[in-house]
Amino acid sequence: MPDPVRLLALCVSLCAIPIHASAQQGLAFAGVPWRMPADSARARLERLGYTFSRDGEAGDPVFTRSDRAELTMILQDGRAAGFLLVDSARDARAGQRYAVLADSLRAALGSADTLGGTGLVWAAGLTEVRLQTVTRLGVRYVTLEWRGPGMLDEMNRRWADRPLPPLPPGFTAVTGTAVSRVAVDTLTLRRTDGGALRGRFRIDYAQPVGPDDESYDGAGYEVEAECAQGRTRLLARSLYLQGRARKEETFQRQGWQSPRPEGHYGRGLEALCRAAAAVRLR
């Protein structure tokens, strides 16, 4: 069995060239195309040294590796939507393992797109690679997660206490958390004559947010965006509650703004730019 770290770099490199991840069209695990049928993906993984172990509680196939790492292939409608690799290192060894894996991923993918307190994220179009340290039941370990198209919707369907509402026609989920989702209307996303993106995004919440008399569970925006400059210009905004519009506004001659990453406009900017890298624009 090859060294796991070298195998990791090889698996990533099969679908990526060594440039900044955000400039790539997609990231996948071990060369398995997103949405590949489960049986075909299983055969490919087994050729790479992963041994089928069992079906998980949700019906996802679980594999083991010779170093006792465990890989789960997360399925949506019988096709590969994501992978979760749980490394065998624990507690004191987890920190060392995290550093080795981070170096391996940087060598294959370049600098991470997102830095967090417990992990790194490489994003490309509608796909992501996440390296994290996790502590559960007092045990610290390292996880590597590949998220492909459909993974976000499947996570929400399975695990959210309050599922998010269905997306309107034309919208594609790009980023999100357990309680919110950012989606882009990929059918109308286009470039202006000046080269900026013009498009619509929406942020949905599992439960209403904001003051009681002005609460909403969905917010839609139409904006122009310049990805390289990291700025947006607002054209229209709507707030929704249980599918009904509560407030609608249009704007003219708005100036360009550099939004905070954690705010609505920052999250929308990220989603628009990632969607634009993954779809054919008009």
CATH, residue 256: 2.40.128
Same domain, 80 and 201: no
Asked if residue 157 belongs to a domain, the reply is no
Return d(Cα 129, Cα 82) in angstroms, integer: 10
Query: What was the pLDDT predicted at 42?
Result: 96
The answer to whether residues 78 and 204 belong to one domain is no
Question: Residue 155: its pLDDT value, please?
Answer: 86
Counting Cα atoms < 13 Å in the Cβ hemisphere of 12 gives 31
Question: How many whole angstroms separate alpha carbon 14 and alpha carbon 16?
Answer: 6
Helix, strand, or coil (residue 269)? helix
Quote the pLDDT of residue 17.
Answer: 31
Q: Are residues 113 and 215 in the same domain?
A: no
Q: Are residues 148 and 8 in the same domain?
A: yes
Please give the pLDDT value at position 96: 94
Q: Do 194 and 214 have their domain in common? A: yes
Contact partners, residue 188, CB within 8 Å, separation at least 6: 170, 199, 200, 282
Residue 211: predicted pLDDT: 87
**Within this chain, do residues 50 and 92 fall inside the same structural domain, yes or no?**
yes
Do both 27 and 146 map to the same domain?
yes
Number of domains in the chain: 2
Q: Report residues of the chain scoring pLDDT below 70.
A: 1-26, 115-117, 282
In a shared domain, residues 86 and 178: no
Range of the domain at 123: 4-152
Last residue of a domain, one of 100, 120, 152: 152
Tell me: do 63 and 132 sit in the same domain: yes
**pLDDT (0 to 100) of residue 62:** 98
Q: Within this chain, do residues 106 and 169 fall inside the same structural domain, yes or no?
A: no
